[in-house]
Amino acid sequence: MVANAKSAEVRRILERYLVEVVEAYDFCPWARPARLAGEITIEVIWDDSWVTAARTALAKPSTRVAMIVAPECTLDPEALRLVRDDVAAQIPTAGVAQFHPDAPLDLASPARLVPFVRRSPDPLLQLVPLEILDAVRTSSQTSLAQQAQILGGHAQPPREDVAARIARVNHETVSANHAAILAALQAIADDRRAAYARVGISACR
C-alpha cells in the first residue's frame, strides 16, 4: 500500500508536468492525444532497473510512448545520459530520450534549448518505438495536429523530417513565455517536494 501511494504521487506529479507544461506550451505534438488515448505507459522505478522497466512498458500493446521515472535517482544530467545510452544499446527498437529536473534554460539556439524542454520533475527516460519515430522523421510538410494524428495511428505518415521544425517552434514559444514556464515548473517542484515528504520518498531535490 505504501509503495502504491508513493507511485501514485510520482505519477500525479508527472501528469502535472505533462499537462501544465508539455501540453500547455505544445512542446510535443503527440503528448495530449497519446495521454488521452491511454497510450503513455509510465513505470516508476526505485533502483537502477531502467532496462527491465522499459521492456515491460514497451511490451504493452497500448504503448506508443513509455516513460520510466526514477524519483529517488541522484544522477546528474550527464550521468543520466550515460544510462540513456546503455538503455538505447540494449533496446535498439526504440528511440530513447532523457529528461532531467536540472536541465538549464539556454536560449542560444533551438538545439541548446532541448534539455530545458525536457526539464521534468524527476529524472526519466522516454522511449518511443522506432517505427513511430520513423513515420514522423520521414514526413512531409504537415501541421502539428496532423503529426499528432500520425503518432496516434490515425493518419498516413507525412514525408519530411519534422524534428528541426518542432525545435524551432519550441524555441519561439519558450523565448516568449520562459517566465511563465519557469513559474509553472517551480510550482510543480514545490508540490513534488511536499508530496514526496508526505509519503516518504527520498527526493534529492
Q: Provide the pLDDT for residue 149.
A: 60
Q: Provide the pLDDT for residue 136.
A: 62
3-class state of residue 29 by DSSP: coil
Domain annotation covers residue 151: no
Mean per-residue pLDDT, 128-138: 79
Residue 5 has phi, psi (to 5 degrees) of -65, -40
Distance separating alpha carbons of residues 172 and 91, to the nearest angstrom: 33
Look up the domain containing 124 and give its range: 2-129+177-192
Domain annotation covers residue 200: no
Domain annotation covers residue 140: no
Mean per-residue pLDDT, 60-87: 96
Region for 200 from its dihedrals, namely left if φ exceeds 0, alpha if ψ lies in -120 to 50, beta otherwise: left
| The residue type at 35 | R
Cα 184 to its chain centre, rounded Å, is 16
Q: If DSSP states are collapsed to H, E and C, what string results for 55-118?
A: HHHHCCCCCCEEEEECCCCCCCHHHHHHHHHHHHHHCCCEEEEEECCCCCCCCCCHHHHHHHHC
Mean per-residue pLDDT, 125-148: 71
Instruction: Indicate the average pLDDT of the chain.
Output: 89
pLDDT digits (tens, 9 = 90+) for 6-48: 999 999 999 999 999 999 999 998 899 999 999 999 999 999 9
Domain annotation covers residue 165: no
In this structure, the number of other CB atoms found within 10 A of the CB of residue 59 comes to 10
Percentage of the chain lying above the pLDDT 90 cut: 79
Q: pTM for the complete prediction?
A: 0.86
Domain annotation covers residue 160: no
Domain annotation covers residue 73: yes
CA angle centred on 119, ends 112 and 188, rounded to 5°: 150
Q: How many domains does the chain fold into?
A: 1
Environment class of 194 (CB within 10 Å of its CB; exposed 0-12, middle 13-18, buried 19+) = exposed
Q: 56 pLDDT exceeds 60? A: yes
